[in-house]
């Protein structure tokens, strides 16, 4: 009884032992409905308990399991083995981030940027609960809805060559989330967020490669958010030239 087998070629890096990462091959049983995360879990449970990687919800909503699968940034829980040609699949840590161990990358830079753009509603003055809820029409919701789908999985940063070459670049997800709040009719935080997205290392570094939107698993389209933020920046700058005191 022969069983169909796949080879998972995983990056190993143990900083206390290895000077450089190397590949290790594991043979896992191949079932048609297996995802890469299933294969990693099989390896850890049955073949090598030292393999280290992040995962959580296993259904594509938590954003924990990002990795470069056959060179493409993907969620391992959303990558079916049958999507890939052949029976050998390469799994590497998410590109453009420093590797802590095996497939685990250092997320500090992204976390810092996420906090920097203040991902919450900013009000000049909070209305007391007695005044009721902030009302928002369906049209107003639509202006930012898709950008609120971001699960902070960082695949877009791995896909972005600009970020890969310049770590200071604010990046796709942070800009998309900032834009989500800029466009939210309940938010009054433009004065706080604009300096961050419109500084030199903000949206202006983006050259519209567009790979961020290609790899995004939730259809956020960060390239669109960045482009719209550029247009906001240019029109604001023009307005401030023409009307130095007035306008916002």
Partner 1 sequence: MPKVARLHAILWGVFSMGGFIAAFLLPVLIYLVGIAYPLGLWPVANADPTSAILNHHHLGTLFLFVTVAGSLYHGIFRFQSTLTEIGLAPAKRALEAIGYLIIVVGILAVAYYLLLLNPNVLSLP
Partner 2 sequence: MSKQKPFPEYRRKLGPGWWLSNGHFTQYMIREWTSFFVAVFSLIYIYELSLFATGAKDSALALMRNPGIIAFNVLALLFTLYHAFTWFYLIGKVQPIRMGKTTSKPWQALLVNIVLLLIIFYAVIQILVLR
CA distance 39 to 65: 13
Residues 165-184, mask of contacts with partner 2 (x by CB under 8 A): x-------------------
CA distance 165 to 82: 33
Of 45-53, 143-151, 191-199, 202-210, which part binds partner 2 (CB under 8 A)?
A: 202-210
Place of tokens 């009719």: 185
| Strand pairing report for 88-92 and 5-12 | parallel
According to the binding rule CB under 8 A, does residue 84 interact with partner 1?
A: no
Nearest to 216 by CA among 184, 183, 177: 177
According to the binding rule CB under 8 A, does residue 235 interact with partner 1?
A: yes
CA distance 116 to 16: 33
Residues 163-192, mask of contacts with partner 1 (x by CB under 8 A): --xx--------------------------
Rank residues 74 and 193 by Cβ distance to partner 1 and give the closer one.
193
According to the binding rule CB under 8 A, does residue 211 interact with partner 2?
A: yes
Rank residues 171 and 217 by Cβ distance to partner 1 and give the closer one.
171
Of 77-85, 148-156, 190-198, 225-233, which part binds partner 2 (CB under 8 A)?
A: 225-233
Of 38-46, 68-76, 138-146, 194-202, which part binds partner 1 (CB under 8 A)?
A: 194-202
Q: Which of positions 68-87 make contact with partner 2 (CB under 8 A)?
A: 71
> For 51, how many CA atoms within 13 A lie in the half-sphere containing its CB?
24
Give the number of residues in contact with partner 2, rule: CB under 8 A.
26
- Quick one: what does residue 180 bind among partner 1, partner 2, none, with the CB cut-off 5 to 8 Å set by partner type? none
CA distance 228 to 226: 5
Contact pick of 7, 199, 214, 224 for partner 1 (by CB under 8 A): 199
CB-based contacts of 12-15 (< 8 A; 24+ apart in sequence): 12/51, 12/102, 13/93, 13/99, 13/101, 13/102, 14/50, 14/101, 14/102, 15/100, 15/101
With beta carbons less than 8 A apart as the criterion, state whether 109 and 59 touch. Answer: no
Which residues are at the interface with partner 1 (CB under 8 A)? 116, 161-162, 165-166, 194-196, 198-200, 202, 204, 207, 230, 233-238, 240-241
């Amino acid at each position: 009884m022969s069983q169909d087998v796949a080879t998972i070629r995983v990056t190993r890096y143990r900083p206390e032992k290895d000077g450089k990462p190397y590949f290790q091959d594991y043979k896992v049983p191949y079932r048609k409905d297996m995802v890469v995360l299933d294969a990693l879990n099989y390896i850890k449970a049955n073949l090598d308990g030292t393999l280290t990687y992040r995962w959580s919800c296993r259904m594509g909503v938590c954003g924990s399991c990002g990795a470069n699968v056959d060179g493409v940034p993907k969620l391992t829980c959303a990558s079916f083995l049958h999507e890939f040609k052949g029976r050998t699949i390469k799994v590497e840590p998410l590109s453009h981030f420093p590797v802590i161990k095996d497939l685990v990358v250092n997320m500090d830079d992204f976390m810092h940027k996420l906090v920097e753009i203040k991902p919450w509603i900013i009000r000049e003055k909070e209305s007391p609960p007695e005044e009721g809820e902030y009302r928002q029409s369906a049209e107003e919701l639509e202006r930012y809805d898709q950008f609120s789908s971001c699960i902070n999985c960082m695949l877009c940063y791995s896909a972005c060559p600009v970020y890969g070459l310049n770590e200071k670049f604010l990046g796709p997800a942070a800009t998309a989330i900032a834009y989500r709040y800029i466009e939210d009719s309940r938010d009054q935080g433009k004065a706080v967020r604009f300096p961050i997205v419109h500084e030199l290392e903000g949206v202006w570094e983006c050259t519209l490669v567009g790979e961020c939107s290609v790899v995004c698993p939730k259809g956020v389209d960060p390239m669109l958010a960045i482009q719209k933020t550029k247009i906001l920046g240019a029109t604001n700058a023009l307005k401030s030239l023409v009307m130095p005191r007035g306008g916002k």
